[in-house]
Amino acid sequence: MEDNDNTQEEPVGLVRRDALKAMAAVASLPILSGLPLADAEAQTAPAAKAGAPASLQPPRAAGGPRGDAWDPDLLRPRKDWPRKLTTSEMATLAALADMIIPADDKSPSASTVGAHHYINEYVSAPGDGSARDLVRVRGGVSWLNLESQQRFGKRFTQLTVAQKTAICDDICYVPKAKPEHKAGARFFSLVRNLVATGFYTTDAGMKDVGYVGNVALPKWDPPPPAVLKALGLE
């Protein structure tokens, strides 16, 4: 019996090719459904089995931040590693930080905004780089106090500003430092970079350089008509 159906079949090759394209497109998409919660449970499972206190497991909404290194909770940050510098070492770093960025009529000193605490956090962090810098900072602090004792008979924190300046002038630039000051100059270079990073990422530091970002605008003023006209956006 003759088939009167006039429906034409689509070419088989075209269907397969389109299907492969669709499969490839789907495979490239991130899997969003269900995984964040499942992954969060997997992350906290070891801590729960080890009997970690509930206070160390911050509450979170499904799909929200877990408070770990990969998905940090920036609104409720936690100190994830112990600080390794001693109180004496911190006092020396605070004094050196204030020689690098002293207080003036525009802004406070580096130690006032906690630049030396930033150094402690940085060199105490897990990782080979931080461990290497911890050795450099500790060795440099010891060198600085030894140099202070040899020159002036006091620790660095007990020196006058003029005495501190005399030592800092000898170690402030590695290429011109004397051979006996090279180690101190490398230490000073590292600390200077860390102090500047810690200071100029605070509100006081940003105000000191005139940075006006990171603040809410009370209103939005569009570009002036002359600018729009020049850009052809009228």
Residue 6 has pLDDT above 50, yes or no: no
Q: Regarding predicted confidence, which is higher, 61 or 124?
A: 124
- pLDDT at 55 (0 to 100): 47
How many structural domains does the chain have? 1
Burial class (CB in 10 A: 0-12, 13-18, 19+), 178: exposed
- pLDDT at 79 (0 to 100): 64
- pLDDT at 80 (0 to 100): 73
Give the mean model confidence (pLDDT) for residues 163-168.
98
pTM of the predicted protein model: 0.63
Residue 171 lies in a domain: yes
Residue 216 lies in a domain: no
Its domain, for residue 134, covers 87-204
pLDDT in tens, 95-106: 999 999 999 999
- pLDDT at 34 (0 to 100): 40
Residue 36 has pLDDT above 70, yes or no: no
pLDDT in tens, 211-225: 888 778 888 888 899
With beta carbons less than 8 A apart as the criterion, state whether 159 and 152 touch.
yes
Residue 95 lies in a domain: yes
Give the mean model confidence (pLDDT) for residues 35-54.
42
One-letter amino acid identity for 181? H
Residue 211 lies in a domain: no
Residue 48 lies in a domain: no
Residue 28 lies in a domain: no
pLDDT in tens, 105-162: 999 999 999 999 999 999 999 888 899 999 999 999 999 999 999 999 999 999 999 9
Cα-trace Rg, the chain: 30
CB neighbours of 96 closer than 8 A, spacing ≥ 6? 144, 156, 164, 168, 188, 191, 195
Residue 49 has pLDDT above 50, yes or no: no
pLDDT in tens, 64-83: 677 676 777 778 776 678 99
State what percent of residues in the chain have pLDDT above 90: 56
Average pLDDT, the chain: 80
Residue 78 lies in a domain: no
- pLDDT at 219 (0 to 100): 87
